[in-house]
Structure 1
Amino acid sequence: MPYKKILLIGSGPIKIGQASEFDYSGTQALKALRELGLEVVLLNSNPATIMTDPEMCAKTYVEPITKETVKFIIQNEKVDAIISTMGGQTALNLCVELEEENFLREHHVALLGAGVSTIKRTEDRTLFAQEMDKLGYKAGKRFLAHSEEEAIRLAQTTAGFPLIIRRDFALGGRGSALTFNLQELKEVFTTDIKFPITLEKSLVGYKEIEMEVMVDCEQNGVIICSIENVDPCGVHTGDSITVAPALTISDHCLQTMRDMTLRIARHMGVVAGGANVQFAVHPNNEEDITVIEMNPRVSRSSALASKATGYPIAKISAQLAVGLTLKEILNDITRVSPVAFEPTLDYVAVKIPIFPFSKFPTSSTILGPQMRSVGEVLALGGSFNEAFLKALRSLEMGLEIPSLAQLSTTPLDITPDYIRERLQHPHQLSLLTVLEALRLKISKEEIADLSKISPWFINQMAVIFDREEEFKQVENPLQSADIFQPFKEIGFSDKYLAFLKDLPQKKILEYRMKEKIFPVFKAVDTCAGEFAAETPYFYSTYAVQNEAVPLSHDGRSVLVMGSGPNRIGQGIEFDYSCVKACERLKNHHIQSIMANSNPETVSTDYDSSDRLYITPLFTEDLCEIFRHENPEGIIASFSGQTGIKIREHFERGFRKDLMTFNFLGPSYDAVDITENRERFNTLTASVDLARTKSMLVKGHKNLLNAMTEIGLPVIIRPSYVIGGESMYIFNHHEDINHLPPQVKEQLKLSTSEFLVETYLRNAIEYDVDLVRDKAGHVIFTVCEHIEHAGVHSGDSGMFAPPLVLTQRPYKKLMEITKKLASDLEIVGPINFQFAIIENDIYCIEANPRGSRTLPFLSKAYNLNIPAMATDAMLGLDIPPFERETFPYFSVKQSTFPFDRFIQDNIILGPKMRSTGETMGIDCDKDHAVFKSYLGNYPKLFGPGKILISLADPQKPVILPYLRSLIKKGYQFMATQGSYDYIKKQGIPCTLVAKIGTGQNNNGSPTILEAMKDDQLKMVLNTPANLGQSKSDGEMIRNTAILYGVPCFTRAENIRAIVESILTTDHYPVPRALQDLYREL
């Protein structure tokens, strides 16, 4: 090997457009490089990843992904090569910057996989179009505009509408906009658009096809698979339903795109590794093919293609990057054929994205060229319809009955006009909208005309509709297996069939058990059965031959339930724990079985467990796997709220009368006690806790009465939710009027109980994660929140170990949690959340499962907490652990998708809205804090301007720091009230006019002009209250988000970031985890 030490750059915190697929890719790459005997150094700021576990490589830097960090690592670790193709847009852009400064060349560091020239020619849309022209390929009509005036002139003359406005080097289509007229184009200019911009003639309505390709150093190439977008061009591919292989394209057209892809990859200089090329195909003329773009790296689509085919793209990309060829590498699954053989699929794979619109209720739900989905599911089936209906079930949105009526945002009366609007303006679940249109007798021709969806997919929905009607007409579908079986083969769930005939679901299951109508399990083998598959990776289908021999026939086995699609409230943190559980089972020589639906994650990598099932985490589908495998135990404690709901179905639903399974970990009664607010209050009465005033209520009127009786402010909490769903803080009675319309309707109609209790303003919140074994041994860890109580724990910054907590309350917290865990008879993990104010301790809630903080705590405390929890659930003793102080500090900060949902208020509250997290770790507290913020805002380092607009109660917060910030080289801008306050202190400050006021008599810049200032480092803006009111402050905050300027909105955050700046005289020295752990 020509290289000895390689730096692999990760993608940082999970965000829209760059999610957990890069943990999967990076983890595969690290394993591959390690197997080749190479020394690998990793840089990634995301603690929730498997790749940042210290045993994955020689040195692990959980540090901000900045030029300064990379330069330090290269010089300190003597790195001689970098792989940037595993870190998404973040890593590519960073390497371009370093190359432009000549730093890599000066330090003799090679850039593997894709060179800077390749990156620039693929990311710069003008250069890319020029390269395609050299090859004789169309890249769409593109026009470069350097100003608003030029853009308008081009749109009205040369280009013409519709147009897509794009940026170069952008993540997930950020900043892209589809415009149909001049007015919409002018609206784009009010955003953070920076010239020059590219105006592309829109290909709306064209079919969009992606081709995944691998190229080695000898220019050998292989196409991994084709992926077809169900939604036509105009919807970001990450937001579209997709299918593999492509189903509506002719073999001739596919062969043409295959040849084009290989030629493009070689021409653009993909030195060695994976890439992705996207095409637009005219729906009525397959000779009309346009090249949309190319990604010279592993991507979201690469992860999907890997899981859809079983071909490990990231692993092979890493091997190719260091010099191996496709002919030298054997296929991991067949272990006899080289990876130069193109995968063959004898099944259909369907991906459906999942969106966080319920968290951002005022933002538009219409899809476009800017990606807004936060996760996705994958389903495999013998037919498109079987895979599609399984994918709907995998979303965990109640779509086992495939109807828009199952969604809380759908009107009670689904009218033809409502459906036509959804067809004409793309929304999530487009094919489900097509199915509803067919039910409403809208013609296939009209559906195709409105939606531009291929008639083939519309016909598939027509098949589902016809089979629905057929099943309804069968007088007694349970009298003959020959009549019943075809409805299961198309993908109908038991619940769906029971719904169509008004039958109890139990009756359908009893009939299937009696007639032995069960699915079989087929292997994903990359070769359609041509070679024997050595790696067991399975999906269910109603066919004849079963290919999965139960692992229980050959020793012990335990099934680990995954956590399903990434979504706000339940993300990669849970997948981390699932993977660690599988690793621990292997250590104990227990065969691990993974069941999950998420194609982005490490848990669905075929070598993370002894057996993998890609399956909906829906009771029926899981039941078939449980029945088939008959494992000695099932671990659902790392599955988030999904695991809680599944256990309820199995242990409280009708299935308990027909079959039983052994769930390891806390009992279901412990689950119910902690989820049921009344039972939980009874439990906590046995320990020394302060108690808030609270009432259980149903309905709108009783809620208002409870608010009056308890006294404002109050917080309302439902039972059995995750991510703070439907939780709200009311400071005023009229705040109830600001609830989203669907929540108000639900409150009026629902019989669900809500707990209304006093909101503990200014209390400090603590997360306690505890693991207990059957002997009562305990692992006790504590996180202290930066934000005060009222901000969801998943959104709050955290310290570990705590800073403010003194020894006495620390010991008391430990006593309380041990007592509560003992009373609940916990065996395994449990999470408690406490609030402390004036030495009074309140218990907010408990979750008898692994929490989202376990990965962060595992890194902070150098403990494999999920593995220890797995030991406890297996009945093994665990070593007790509790430690109050450490030689270093760990800080977690959350990452938010506000830039994709500009219309929503960014003020944090009890409803979780973050998508990911960063970590800062250092022996200096303030350096750790600063690193944690740099993980989200890499340009925060160094002096600049600060824009201040504070509510009156928070104005004194900033005052003690202003003079010190001036000495550091900072300058201040402020809106009128804050400006007056600062000037009274004799401190220099520039007045900024609020939005809509224009320039005042003194020529003060507007907020918009201030935001465009490249010297602006951050905005400090606190609201007058924490309600949902629209205000000047909200416009300031949203404008800051729009322009990518860090915006701090709480006094606690302002203190933390400013104090860290004042004590940071130089860029904080990066520290490898392995070096820090030696100090323990």
Structure 2
Amino acid sequence: MILGAGPIVIGQACEFDYSGTQACKALKAEGYEVVLLNSNPATIMTDPGTADRTYVGPMTPELVEQILEKERPDAILPTMGGQTALNLAKALSESGILEKYNVELIGAKLASINKAEDRELFANAMDKLNLKMAQSCIATTMEECMKAAEEIGRLPLIIRPAFTLGGTGGGIAYNMDEFAEICKAGLNASMTSQVQIEQSLLGWKEFELEVMRDLADNVVIICSIENVDPMGVHTGDSITVAPVQTLTDKEYQRLRDASVDIIREMGVECGGSNVQMAINPADGAMVIIEMNPRVRCAGWLGGWLGGRAGGQRAAPLPPPVFVPPHPTLPPPALSVGEAMAIGRTFQESFQKAMRSLETGLDGWSLPRGYKRLPHDKLIYNMRVPNPERMVAIKQALEDGETLDDIFEYTKIDPWFLAQLGELHEVETWLKTKKLEELSAVDMLQLKKRGFSDSQIARALGSDMMTVRMTRKALGVEPSMKRVDTCAAEFEAGTPYMYSSYDGECECESDAEPKVLILGGGPNRIGQGIEFDYCCCHASFSLRDAGYETIMMNSNPETVSTDYDTSSRLYFEPLTVEDVLNVVEKERPEGIIVQFGGQTPLKLATALQQALEENPIPAASGNGNVSIWGTQPDAIDEAEDRDRWMALLTKLDIRQPAGGLATNEEQALQIANSLGYPVMVRPSYVLGGRAMEIVYSDQDIHRYINTAVEVDPDRPVLVDKYLDRADELDVDALADKDGNVVICGIMQHIEQAGVHSGDSACSIPPQTISPECLAVIRDWTPKLAKALKVVGLINIQYAVQDNTVYIIEANPRASRTVPFVAKAIGHPLAAYASLLMSGKKLADIGFTEEPKLKHVAVKEAVLPFDKFAGADTLLGPEMRSTGEVMGIDVTFGKAYAKAAIAAGQRLPQSGNVFITMMDKYKETAVPIAKELQELGFGIMATYHTASYLRKAGLQNVQSVLKVSEGRPNGEDLLKNGEIQMMIITTAGDESDVRDGKELRRTALAHKVPIITTLAAARATVEALKDMSKGELEQVPLQDYF
């Protein structure tokens, strides 16, 4: 039995889908029957064909026991599911469940997990090996924490909780107030209420070694990795480079020997581990930081670069959705994804990694429209680790700061700074030239240092395509190199490719029919693993159909970048220049842009234009290279407001009233003619970035002047907000002949106004009338045909007062595809790729909407606990990082499974606290009544309690608001007297402040918070079904 990693959370991304899928394949190849548990439907490992028995549901000891009883496995492998799986294995072992069913723990024994994760046991093991650790103390209470601070004697101090992922709950304390706050959070976050308090090693150089051991005690170092940022930034958030760049051979051998000793001492019998160490650049002293008996964030870079190419990884942070008080990078991991680039030199890899982040950079240059920082802010951005540190270093060099000054601010190793200094000098020289003055030698030197065509164009005041044509005329073209995974010991046959301007081309292109699939790039909030899932399925199905599949992506922690997913893989930034380089070398018949989310869609129009202006014949001889599936013009028609409105009018499809504003005056005019509230958002967005519901002219003024830039090129959409409407998502498939089949209709549990990526949803819909569903079934094919969709389309609808409105259409794969595919038992992305290759729906045997006898529920996983001070209210801007799924015969049971899998602790008894605006009170009455019937006590603020009593509820306890005195709701939460809280948005300023405080306190005390009435209704259904008996785990294979 393999334990998966559950949903994507900050600090644990989709790297574990990669390792889990590999484990399933390897074990099945050895003849084992594989049982898998993972709650995340957006993974390849949870596909029914990956394991023999696939359980998609909550990862709790009670439910695992059910599976053990049913399946009777011989062993459990927990090292492929990150911290989630390790903690679950520990709980199963310590509760005696493994012993009861005679199940062996393999990969890492309990003693090894405890030794590595328990800070005290690990320190003792290092002591035994005569390896130094930072001076530290172990504490399990606040008193012990204060005593430890006294013993170590000087600030700053680092706090590391035991058994948490991505350092959750930890941090660096610079004063005693901060120290007390972080210790409290750390003790709360640790499953064993244990923290390690250690002297700060800020400024030391940090290294990681990926180590493997087999049962015959052979140990190999897979890869050495160096963090560009010094100690103090979590390795998952740092820029890292492989192999290490700044150590002498003697220093490296010390790290290597220590790693080998550690993996043996820790008792990891077979499998991978990660060892982190630090070296003091002043005197060469070495300390061990930690060891993980599982593969970590950097392991993908390590596994990837076990050979000789240089690689660079950079971590994109979540966009400023949560507005944390200080956007700094402390030891807990905050990034949700990463990009990787490979080159022949550090400079080339670094610049490619910068443009792979998709944050508007085209290399290591100041971004377009960059607002220069004042000197004090610039110094702060270099001293304190933050997402803009590399940009700040660039400005500092432009402002005349010396490399010595920058070293003092950043403590980044002088070797790295010298490399950056050289890049700056080259760019400064370039700005003095004209394009026609550059020789072939000049151009080659620029490209060898990683400068992109668009970066060169900006420096010269030209445009990207002109630079490209000039470069090609000078004979400067990239060579496609193969990653040498055998370190020149043997000939490497792996199809990992990357571009460089150094040496001969190793791309062995042939005349076979080929397809290029563009991946999704780095994970970020709004665009995650769901799109990688679609890319993988496209590759699998097209390869089976006889095509060579070529994958292009920059994300190392995905299954799409696995060695056997595609025929060849290009690890390259997803830009027009880099895609055209691959297209010219491989000459595929088709390019697929539909599966990678917004990333490849943004390239579609420019790619099509380039292919029309300079046609490239396909290597197979079947015509020219073209974009397959829905054409870029249809994508533009769905995004362009005027064209979209014209299309809906022509098709007689209803949409909410609205308009397009190119300035504040227009936005106010539209809002007032519609009447507040209205929804405002920029056009061309993914994940609802900068989308808001506004209630007044003042809100519009604030939005236009602070949230977005508005001009004729970047208009803002202003739509009538459909209050209390039900929202639905529809995924459909269409073929080249205009045949359309609906795959699934999902009803959102949260009402319209909450981003679809954050809302739970159920398939089939539960409360939508047959008349409305008939309208949706009529409009969906009509729209898909009009847009000439070939492949997938996702359409969002809202139903208000039994009237259907269309909200938007996306003629591409949406984030719901993996969930719908699991719910209906059909591989939708695989079907879509075959339709793009020219097949019809009838050819693949998918001709009607599936009818289900079960209910599947998708629930979003939100990262509020990672951001101190973040409010838990949901709105139109997407905040979730991942998703989970529950599947059962009733809605209540499926929702209960999904809620538990998402980390909500649904109480079976106790008190429920209710507070809400007047307009929602009537709807809250039946919810409160049903909760009382289930045995819960009801507490409410004064006005809500009075309303509930008047409606006939007995024994409702009144509770003071925070602003009214004490004891109030916050006190009751801290005293453990509230087991669940239903709290909706409130009216005046003091209510808003009170609500925010209550939600934060509930979050800190792990009390379930429900912020919408729709979710409250769904929770009551779940509690009712749970009260009838325990939830039963059933494998996916048994539903179809």
Name the TM tier (shorter chain).
Answer: over 0.9
From 737, 740, 753, give the equivalent of 1:775.
Answer: 737
Q: Which of 259, 267, 270 is residue 269 of structure 1 equivalent to? A: 267
Distance 1:849 1:1027, change over 3 A: farther
Shift of 1:896: 1.0
1:719 aligns with 2:683: yes
Structure 2 residue aligned with 1:808: 771
Alignment of 1:148-547 (within 5 A): 148-188=142-182, 191=185, 193-194=187-188, 196-286=194-284, 288-309=285-306, 344-345=307-308, 347-406=309-368, 412-474=371-433, 478-547=437-506
C-alpha displacement of 1:993: 5.4
In structure 2, the CA distance between the partners of 1:224 and 1:1028, relative to structure 1 (3 Å rule), is farther
Work out whether residues 731 and 1026 of structure 1, in 8 Å CA contact, stay in contact via their aligned partners in 2: no
Aligned to 1:57: 51
Query: 1:677: which partner in 2?
Result: 641
What is the CA-CA distance between 1:885 and the residue it aligns to?
3.7
Q: Normalising to structure 2: TM-score of the pair?
A: 0.95
What is the Cα deviation at residue 894 of structure 1? 0.5
Q: Distance in 2 between matches of 1:60 and 1:921?
A: 12
How has the CA–CA distance of structure 1 residues 1026 and 719 changed in structure 2, closer, same or farther, with 3 Å as cutoff? farther
Change beyond 3 A, Cα 1:716–1:976: same
Asked if 1:797 is matched to 2:797, the reply is no
1:938 CA drift (Å): 5.7
Residue 607 (str. 1) matches residue 549 (str. 2): no
Are the counterparts in 2 of residues 10 and 22 from structure 1 also a CA contact under 8 Å?
yes
Q: Write out aligned runs for 1:634-713 (5 A).
A: 634-652=591-609, 656=613, 661-713=625-677
CA–CA separation in structure 2 for the residues paired with 1:782 and 1:986:
37
Cα–Cα, structure 1 residues 81 and 1027, in superposed 2: closer, same or farther, change >3 Å? farther
Q: Within 5 Å, give how 1:701-850 maps onto structure 2.
A: 701-736=665-700, 739=703, 742-743=706-707, 746-747=709-710, 751-780=713-742, 781-850=744-813
- After TM superposition, the structure 1 = structure 2 runs for residues 100-111 of structure 1, keeping only pairs within 5 Å, are 100-111=94-105
Give the whole-Å Cα distance in 1 for the aligned partners of 2:906 and 2:131.
Answer: 42
For the Cα contact (< 8 Å) 1:689–1:841, is it kept in 2?
A: no
Q: What's the CA shift for 1:729?
A: 1.1
Q: Which residue of 1 aligns with 2:875?
A: 909
Q: What is the CA–CA distance in structure 1 between the aligned matches of 2:822 and 2:990, rounded to whole Å?
A: 36
- Residues 608 and 627 in structure 2, CA contact (< 8 A), matched pair in contact too: no
How many Å separate the matches in 2 of 1:992 and 1:1010? 11
Query: Does residue 594 of structure 1 match 2:533?
Result: no
Distance 1:996 1:80, change over 3 A: farther
Moved more, 434-443 or 854-863: 434-443
Rate the CA distance shift 1:602–1:245 in 2: closer, same or farther, 3 A: same
Does the CA-based 8 Å contact 1:1040-1:1047 persist in structure 2? yes
CA distance 1:847–1:1026, shift in 2 (3 Å): farther
Q: Say whether the 8 Å CA contact 2:226–2:242 is kept in structure 1.
A: yes
Residue 974 of structure 1 and its aligned partner are, at CA, apart by: 4.4
In structure 2, do the counterparts of structure 1 residues 146 and 120 end up closer, same or farther at CA, with 3 Å as the change threshold?
A: closer
Shift of 1:143: 1.8
Give the aligned residue type for 1:821.
A
Q: Please say if residues 993 and 1007 of structure 1, whose CA atoms lie closer than 8 Å, have aligned partners that are also in contact.
A: no
1:165–1:785 distance in 2 versus 1, CA, 3 Å: same
Measured after TM superposition, the shift of residue 912 of structure 1 is 1.1
Mapping 1:892-931, distance limit 5 Å:
892-931=858-897
**Alpha-carbon separation, structure 2, partners of 1:188 and 1:768:** 44
1:130 aligns with 2:112: no
Whole-angstrom distance in 1 between the partners of 2:83 and 2:499: 35
Instruction: State the 1:845 CA deviation.
Output: 0.8
Q: 2-side partners of 1:403 and 1:991: how far apart?
A: 59
Per-residue CA shift, 1:978-1014, capped at 9, x if unaligned? 455567756446665555777x3xxx3661662463x
Determine if contact 2:162/2:194 at 8 Å carries over to the other structure.
no
Instruction: State how far apart, in whole Å, the 2-side matches of 1:800 and 1:95 are.
Output: 32
Output the amino acid matched with 1:482: V
Q: Does the Cα contact within 8 Å between 1:224 and 1:305 map onto a contact in 2?
A: yes
581 and 467 in structure 1: CA distance in 2 versus 1, 3 angstrom threshold: same
Structure 2 Cα separation of the partners of residues 196 and 485 of structure 1: 55
Which contiguous aligned blocks of 4+ residues in structure 1 show a shift greater than 6 angstroms?
1026-1029
SS at match of 2:685: coil
Gap runs ≥5 in structure 2? 617-623
Distance 2:165 2:1030 in 1: 26
| Alignment partners' CA distance in 2, 1:123 and 1:495 | 46
Question: What are the Cα deviations for residues 499-533 of structure 1, in whole angstroms up to 9, with x where unaligned?
Answer: 11112323211112222311101111212333222
Change (3 A) 1:944 1:397: same
- Aligned equivalents of 1:947, 1:253: Cα separation in 2: 59
Correspondences of 1:929-968 after superposition (within 5 Å): 929-937=895-903, 939-940=905-906, 942-962=908-928, 964-966=930-932, 968=934
Q: Which residue of 2 aligns with 1:548?
A: 507
Q: Which amino acid aligns with 1:54?
A: P
Asked whether the 8 Å contact 2:134–2:288 carries over to 1, the reply is yes
The question of whether the paired residues in 1 share the 8 Å contact of 2:242 and 2:301 is answered with no
Distance 1:241 1:1008, change over 3 A: farther
CA drift of 1:1029 comes to 9.0
Counterpart Cα distance in 2 of 1:478 and 1:666: 42
Structure 1 residue aligned with 2:1023: 1061
Q: CA deviation at 1:1028?
A: 13
Structure 1 residue 566 corresponds to structure 2 residue 566: no
Shift of 1:428: 1.3
- Superposed displacement of residue 308, structure 1: 2.8
How many Å apart are 1:779 and its aligned residue?
A: 2.3
Distance in 2 (CA, whole Å) between partners of 1:117 and 1:192 is 23
Q: Percent identity?
A: 40
TM-score (norm 1): 0.91
Deviation at 1:303, TM superposition (A): 2.2
* Residues 1:245 and 1:1026: Cα distance change in structure 2 (over 3 Å): farther
Partners of 2:228 and 2:241 within 8 A in 1? yes
Instruction: Return 1019-1028 or 588-597, whichever deviates more.
Output: 1019-1028
1:192, 1:1042 within 8 Å by CA — same for their partners in 2?
no
Secondary structure in structure 1 of the residue aligned to 2:650? coil
Question: Is the 8 Å Cα contact of residues 887 and 923 (structure 1) preserved in structure 2?
Answer: yes
Q: Aligned letter for 1:899?
A: D
- Confirm or deny: 8 A CA contact 1:363 1:901 kept in the other structure: no
Question: In 2, Cα distance between the equivalents of 1:977 and 1:160?
Answer: 51
Q: What is the CA–CA distance in structure 1 between the aligned matches of 2:913 and 2:258, rounded to whole Å?
A: 50
1:696 partner SS = strand
Aligned residue number for residue 580 of structure 1: 537
Provide the C-alpha distance between the structure 1 equivalents of 2:706 and 2:112, rounded to a whole number of angstroms: 48
**Aligned-partner SS, 1:803:** coil
Aligned match of 2:619: none
Superposition deviation, residue 728 in structure 1: 1.4
Distance between the aligned counterparts of 1:414 and 1:742, measured in 2? 18
Rounded Cα–Cα distance in structure 2 between residues aligned with 1:122 and 1:1008: 38
1:1043/1:599 CA distance change after superposition, 3 Å: farther
Which residue does the alignment assign to 1:334? none
What one-letter code is carried by the residue in structure 1 that aligns with 2:45? Answer: M
Equivalenced residue count is 1023
Deviations 1:702-761 (A, max 9, x none): 2122211221111123222111122211123332365497425x24x6741122110111
Q: Which amino acid aligns with 1:917?
A: E
Deviation at 1:664, TM superposition (A): 0.2
Q: What SS is found at the alignment partner of 2:162?
A: coil
- Pick closer, same or farther for the CA change 1:278–1:199 going to 2, 3 Å: same
8 Å contact kept, 2:589–2:626: yes
SS of the equivalent of 1:793 reads: coil
Q: 2: distance between equivalents of 1:143 and 1:759?
A: 55
Mapped partners of 1:941, 1:1007: distance in 2: 19
